[in-house]
Structure 1
Amino acid sequence: MQINLTPAAVDELKKISFKEDEGIRIEAVFVGSCTIADEHSLKIDKKYSLDDLFEIEGIPVIVSKESQKNLHEKVTLDFNPNMGYKLSSAEEVYRYNLTLEKSSY
């Protein structure tokens, strides 16, 4: 998996002080209903054994192996102060207006 952080996202994420084994979790969870859909979220979380850790410009990014199945090989995380984070790939926009939440691990 390849993760790209835009300069705006890097600037915003560098404001965060991470603890050891902590990073930004990109999550893509399959939601079963009458349509096939994934729910996407961003949160500050700790790394678990089934996660991959990507270090991008000094920013730790965590993506579980399960979430990777629901994302394209290359994803981009962007930030706009008026609209929050945007998670996308060349094939689709996964979600606009993502907010970064703190996990309660």
Structure 2
Amino acid sequence: MPIYYTVTERPNPLKPTEPAKFYATAKALKKTEFDEIAKSIAKGSTTVSEADVRAVLVELADQIAGRIAGGETVHLGNLGYFRATLKSRGAETAKEVTSASIEDVRV
């Protein structure tokens, strides 16, 4: 399976005087929605209805979100790892970093 990417130029924030380097950045060709996944799973199964698939996927999402909110990393086998990552403002000292420094939380 190929991976689609674009080339992005990025400076090194730790060494701003050095020339920027180029990096491969993942590129999505399409966004697949929840409904499409549920229908596809149900279509591939002879015993599970689309409603059952939806119910399980909704509960799975709730379980993942709840466990991440509780400080856990969730490992779902071949599906991968799910964990919180933070974007925060930099500070001059460690003592200056507080929860107010956090700008965004992502999974």
> TM-score under structure 2 normalisation?
0.22
- Give the number of the structure whose alpha-carbon radius of gyration is greater: 2
> TM-score under structure 1 normalisation?
0.22
Please state which structure has a larger fraction of its residues in helix. 2
